[in-house]
Amino acid sequence: MHVRLRAPRFPGPAGLEPSRGRALRRGRYLGRGAAPVTIKRRLFEALGGECEIYAIGLPAERLAEGEAWVHQMHDRLTRFSTTSELSRFNASAGSWTAVSDLLEALLRECLRAHELSGGLVNAAVLPALLAAGYTRTFSEGPTAITATVVPPALPEVLEVRSGSARLRLGASIDLGGIAKGWLADRLAAELGPNSLVNLCGDLFARGDGATGEGWPVGMGGKTVLLLDMGAATSGTRKRTWGPDLHHLIDPRTGLPSRSDLVEASVIARSGADAEIFAKTALILGSAKAELYLAAHDALGWSLTA
């Protein structure tokens, strides 16, 4: 295994999960004679993985409200429920349909991600995911691969207007590669000036943490500080169900990515950008990932081959 780490260019940070190092003792930061600062934490399962909310200066009720909001987003945006807003939108393909402000904003984010990634982050990948066997939640277990489906470019099949959107007949989208970083940005903004929201490894840290230097986050085997920045990790080692079968589809082939990279963690100015950059870098592979990240002003990254 080879890990290449480019540290942030200024106090800032990483894409896995908050470091629980020596600085934290039972939810309090013990620093240089200063009064202990209470850091509240809430851990829960949602969006297909482990989520965390950290906050300073907030009552526990606010973190509970944040968790409830994440569960609501999961219920509205999952493709694994036929009654979710996303599934109902996919079922309406071929005609214009009314969409909520939330779904409209996420559909526009999908189009932005497609452009920013050069088409490598493509929400129209759902038919390819299904063909590769990712037909059920991972806890239920994927099914057998059935075919290869090369997804169309998203702008060819998705149109968005104010309050409505249309998918081309036969197309369907998945928000799994888009929503978590975007949602982390929004929840952190709602929680207040000193909080960190980590949704399955895609996160945004707002404020300067307990020390005034940033939130400590693990990246590439090191601890870095995240201050008003986002981070995300994309990898192919966890959600696998057979040789060369995993959840990260390369839209150029319609197959699970064959990149030489197995993990990419990226720091950016938002969780949404970090998620896009991490997935794009992973699919591009080691030969092109760093050029892409530098060209798009990523703030730091860790690439593992």
Q: What is the pLDDT of residue 128?
A: 83
- Averaged pLDDT score across all residues of the chain: 85
* Helix ranges (DSSP H) in 46-159: 60-77, 85-91, 101-116, 126-131, 154-157
Q: What is the pLDDT of residue 278?
A: 97
Q: Is 296 inside a domain boundary?
A: yes
Within this chain, do residues 98 and 190 fall inside the same structural domain, yes or no? Answer: no
Within this chain, do residues 19 and 141 fall inside the same structural domain, yes or no? Answer: no
Contact 184, 199 (CB under 8 A): yes
**Which SS3 state, helix, strand or coil, does residue 35 take?**
coil
Contact 210, 203 (CB under 8 A): no
Within this chain, do residues 47 and 153 fall inside the same structural domain, yes or no? Answer: no
End residue of a domain, out of 133, 167, 201: 167
Within this chain, do residues 64 and 204 fall inside the same structural domain, yes or no? Answer: yes
Q: Is 172 inside a domain boundary?
A: no
Within this chain, do residues 70 and 88 fall inside the same structural domain, yes or no? Answer: no
83 vs 29: CA distance, rounded Å? 44
> For residue range 220-277, what is the model confidence (pLDDT) as tens digits?
788 899 999 999 999 876 655 454 555 688 999 888 878 899 999 999 999 999 999 9
For residue 284, the domain's CATH number is: 3.10.520.10
> For residue range 179-211, what is the model confidence (pLDDT) as tens digits?
999 999 999 999 999 999 999 999 999 999 998
Within this chain, do residues 273 and 186 fall inside the same structural domain, yes or no? Answer: yes
181 vs 169: CA distance, rounded Å? 29
β-strand 249-250 against 245-246: which pairing, if any? unpaired
Half-sphere exposure of 211 (CA within 13 A, CB side): 15
> For residue range 13-59, what is the model confidence (pLDDT) as tens digits?
333 444 433 233 334 443 444 556 889 999 999 998 999 999 999 99
End residue of a domain, out of 129, 146, 167: 167
Within this chain, do residues 153 and 220 fall inside the same structural domain, yes or no? Answer: no
Within this chain, do residues 69 and 203 fall inside the same structural domain, yes or no? Answer: yes
End residue of a domain, out of 116, 142, 167: 167
For residue 94, the domain's CATH number is: 1.10.3980.10
100 vs 209: CA distance, rounded Å? 34
2 vs 242: CA distance, rounded Å? 23
Q: Is 266 inside a domain boundary?
A: yes
The range of the structural domain enclosing residue 125 comes to: 78-167
> For residue range 134-172, what is the model confidence (pLDDT) as tens digits?
554 545 555 555 567 788 999 999 999 999 999 999 999
Within this chain, do residues 135 and 280 fall inside the same structural domain, yes or no? Answer: no
Q: Is 220 inside a domain boundary?
A: yes
Half-sphere exposure of 172 (CA within 13 A, CB side): 21
Nearest to 244 by CA among 255, 234, 233, 252: 255
| pTM of this structure | 0.85
Within this chain, do residues 270 and 182 fall inside the same structural domain, yes or no? Answer: yes
The pair phi, psi for residue 65, each rounded to 5°, is: -65, -40
Q: Is 173 inside a domain boundary?
A: no
Angle at 116 between CA 237 and CA 92, to 5 degrees: 85
Domain count, the chain: 2
Within this chain, do residues 201 and 61 fall inside the same structural domain, yes or no? Answer: yes
